[in-house]
Copies of this chain bind each other. A is one copy, B any other.
Protein backbone atom coordinates (compact mmCIF):
# COMPACT_ATOMS: atom_id res chain seq x y z
CA UNK A 1 0.00 0.00 0.00
CA UNK A 2 3.03 2.28 -0.22
CA UNK A 3 4.16 4.27 -3.22
CA UNK A 4 7.12 6.41 -4.20
CA UNK A 5 6.48 10.15 -4.16
CA UNK A 6 9.16 11.40 -6.48
CA UNK A 7 6.94 14.36 -7.33
CA UNK A 8 6.98 15.52 -3.71
CA UNK A 9 10.38 16.98 -2.84
CA UNK A 10 11.86 16.90 0.65
CA UNK A 11 9.50 14.28 2.04
CA UNK A 12 12.34 12.99 4.20
CA UNK A 13 13.35 16.33 5.70
CA UNK A 14 10.32 17.78 7.43
CA UNK A 15 10.70 21.33 8.67
CA UNK A 16 8.26 21.84 11.57
CA UNK A 17 8.71 25.59 11.27
CA UNK A 18 7.94 25.70 7.54
CA UNK A 19 5.68 28.71 7.05
CA UNK A 20 4.89 31.34 4.45
CA UNK A 21 4.57 33.74 7.41
CA UNK A 22 8.27 33.48 8.36
CA UNK A 23 9.80 36.91 8.89
CA UNK A 24 6.42 38.69 8.73
CA UNK A 25 5.31 37.89 12.26
CA UNK A 26 6.44 38.95 15.72
CA UNK A 27 8.88 36.38 17.11
CA UNK A 28 6.84 35.57 20.25
CA UNK A 29 3.66 35.10 18.20
CA UNK A 30 5.53 32.82 15.78
CA UNK A 31 6.86 30.83 18.75
CA UNK A 32 3.33 30.31 20.07
CA UNK A 33 2.06 29.36 16.61
CA UNK A 34 4.87 26.82 16.16
CA UNK A 35 4.20 25.37 19.61
CA UNK A 36 0.54 24.70 18.76
CA UNK A 37 1.49 23.36 15.31
CA UNK A 38 3.95 20.99 16.97
CA UNK A 39 1.03 19.52 18.95
CA UNK A 40 -1.01 19.26 15.74
CA UNK A 41 1.91 17.41 14.11
CA UNK A 42 2.08 14.94 17.01
CA UNK A 43 -1.67 14.36 16.82
CA UNK A 44 -1.46 13.85 13.04
CA UNK A 45 1.29 11.25 13.36
CA UNK A 46 -0.82 9.42 15.95
CA UNK A 47 -3.85 9.60 13.65
CA UNK A 48 -1.90 8.12 10.72
CA UNK A 49 -0.58 5.16 12.72
CA UNK A 50 -3.97 4.61 14.36
CA UNK A 51 -5.73 4.63 11.00
CA UNK A 52 -3.19 2.13 9.69
CA UNK A 53 -4.02 -0.12 12.65
CA UNK A 54 -7.74 0.28 11.98
CA UNK A 55 -7.32 -0.81 8.35
CA UNK A 56 -5.37 -3.85 9.54
CA UNK A 57 -8.34 -4.77 11.72
CA UNK A 58 -10.95 -4.31 8.98
CA UNK A 59 -8.73 -6.34 6.65
CA UNK A 60 -8.81 -9.18 9.21
CA UNK A 61 -12.59 -8.94 9.29
CA UNK A 62 -12.61 -9.05 5.50
CA UNK A 63 -10.63 -12.27 5.41
CA UNK A 64 -12.71 -13.84 8.20
CA UNK A 65 -15.92 -13.00 6.35
CA UNK A 66 -14.49 -14.29 3.08
CA UNK A 67 -13.35 -17.56 4.67
CA UNK A 68 -16.81 -18.18 6.15
CA UNK A 69 -18.87 -16.73 3.31
CA UNK A 70 -20.52 -14.15 5.59
CA UNK A 71 -22.50 -11.26 4.09
CA UNK A 72 -20.73 -7.98 3.38
CA UNK A 73 -22.77 -5.56 5.41
CA UNK A 74 -23.97 -5.79 8.98
CA UNK A 75 -26.68 -3.14 9.49
CA UNK A 76 -27.16 -4.03 13.17
CA UNK A 77 -23.48 -3.48 13.86
CA UNK A 78 -23.36 -0.25 11.86
CA UNK A 79 -26.33 1.31 13.67
CA UNK A 80 -24.79 0.53 17.06
CA UNK A 81 -21.39 1.84 15.89
CA UNK A 82 -22.82 5.18 14.71
CA UNK A 83 -24.85 5.74 17.90
CA UNK A 84 -21.78 4.99 20.02
CA UNK A 85 -19.48 7.29 18.02
CA UNK A 86 -22.00 10.14 18.29
CA UNK A 87 -22.22 9.66 22.06
CA UNK A 88 -18.40 9.56 22.39
CA UNK A 89 -18.19 12.71 20.26
CA UNK A 90 -20.55 14.51 22.65
CA UNK A 91 -18.35 13.47 25.58
CA UNK A 92 -15.31 14.81 23.72
CA UNK A 93 -17.08 18.09 22.79
CA UNK A 94 -16.80 17.16 19.13
CA UNK A 95 -19.71 17.69 16.73
CA UNK A 96 -21.57 14.30 16.66
CA UNK A 97 -22.52 14.95 13.04
CA UNK A 98 -18.82 15.23 12.22
CA UNK A 99 -18.06 11.96 14.04
CA UNK A 100 -20.70 10.24 11.90
CA UNK A 101 -19.34 11.87 8.73
CA UNK A 102 -15.86 10.74 9.75
CA UNK A 103 -17.01 7.12 10.15
CA UNK A 104 -18.65 7.27 6.73
CA UNK A 105 -15.42 8.66 5.26
CA UNK A 106 -13.48 5.72 6.72
CA UNK A 107 -16.12 3.21 5.56
CA UNK A 108 -15.77 4.64 2.05
CA UNK A 109 -12.06 3.96 2.17
CA UNK A 110 -12.57 0.42 3.51
CA UNK A 111 -14.90 -0.26 0.57
CA UNK A 112 -12.33 1.21 -1.85
CA UNK A 113 -9.64 -1.07 -0.35
CA UNK A 114 -11.84 -4.12 -0.74
CA UNK A 115 -12.70 -3.26 -4.32
CA UNK A 116 -9.02 -2.84 -5.22
CA UNK A 117 -8.24 -6.13 -3.49
CA UNK A 118 -11.09 -7.86 -5.34
CA UNK A 119 -9.67 -6.69 -8.67
CA UNK A 120 -6.29 -8.17 -7.78
CA UNK A 121 -8.04 -11.35 -6.65
CA UNK A 122 -9.95 -11.63 -9.94
CA UNK A 123 -6.78 -10.97 -11.92
CA UNK A 124 -4.89 -13.72 -10.06
CA UNK A 125 -7.82 -16.13 -10.57
CA UNK A 126 -7.81 -15.37 -14.29
CA UNK A 127 -4.10 -16.19 -14.27
CA UNK A 128 -4.91 -19.63 -12.86
CA UNK A 129 -3.73 -18.87 -9.33
CA UNK A 130 -5.45 -20.60 -6.41
CA UNK A 131 -8.64 -18.79 -5.36
CA UNK A 132 -7.97 -19.21 -1.66
CA UNK A 133 -5.43 -16.82 -0.21
CA UNK A 134 -3.53 -16.90 3.07
CA UNK A 135 -5.01 -14.69 5.77
CA UNK A 136 -3.82 -11.06 5.67
CA UNK A 137 -2.58 -11.44 2.12
CA UNK A 138 -3.63 -8.58 -0.14
CA UNK A 139 -6.65 -10.39 -1.52
CA UNK A 140 -10.24 -10.47 -0.27
CA UNK A 141 -13.57 -10.41 -2.09
CA UNK A 142 -15.20 -7.02 -2.54
CA UNK A 143 -18.25 -8.27 -0.65
CA UNK A 144 -16.31 -8.57 2.62
CA UNK A 145 -16.93 -5.01 3.78
CA UNK A 146 -17.16 -4.46 7.53
CA UNK A 147 -16.15 -1.08 8.83
Contacts and interface: CB of A to CB of B under 8 A. Distances in A.
Give the copy number.
Answer: 2
Nearest to A3: B96
B64 A32 contact: yes
A50 B46 contact: yes
Contacts of A10: 80, 83
A118 interface: no
A51 B20 contact: no
Interface of A: 1-3, 5, 8-12, 14-16, 18-22, 25-26, 29, 32-33, 36-37, 39-41, 43-55, 57-58, 60-61, 64-65, 68, 70-71, 73-77, 79-90, 92-99, 101-103, 105, 109, 146
